[in-house]
Amino acid sequence: MVLLWFMLFVFFLIIELLKNELVTIWFVIGAMAAMLSTVVTDSLLIQFIVFFIVGVISKVIIEKSVSKLKLKGEKPKRKANKKKSNNKKTTKVNSKSKSASKSKNKSTRKKSK
């Protein structure tokens, strides 16, 4: 059984190295834990349970860690959003002033006739 878990460990590790997006890292950790559990028991069911539980726990921990890192990196983006909202206001003001100038042009044309 050690060979099975080692092969799964290598398989998931290769996928993780190719993807670079933390897609299978929890399976790598779970396979390593299941491989270590073969020292304690020969039951494939218990080894699979260890694989599953360790995989789920590592997934939760890794996702929380990554989301915290993403939140730290998003602070400058909030400032950029404020600038975008100011640009929209400016566009609205410009469109109003354009429509006002058009109406003035029409009124001056009528007066000149």
DSSP state of 22: S
Q: Which residue has the tokens 């469109």?
A: 95
Q: Is the pTM of this model over 0.75?
A: no
Contacts of 73 (CB under 8 A, 6+ apart): none
User: What was the pLDDT predicted at 68?
Assistant: 85
Structure-block tokens of residue 44: 């494939």
Structure-block tokens of residue 113: 């006739």
For 86-100, the pLDDT digits (tens) are: 555 555 555 555 555
DSSP state of 23: S
Distance CA 97, CA 92 (A): 9
What are the residue ranges in the chain where pLDDT is below 70?
Answer: 74-113
Radius of gyration of the chain (CA): 31
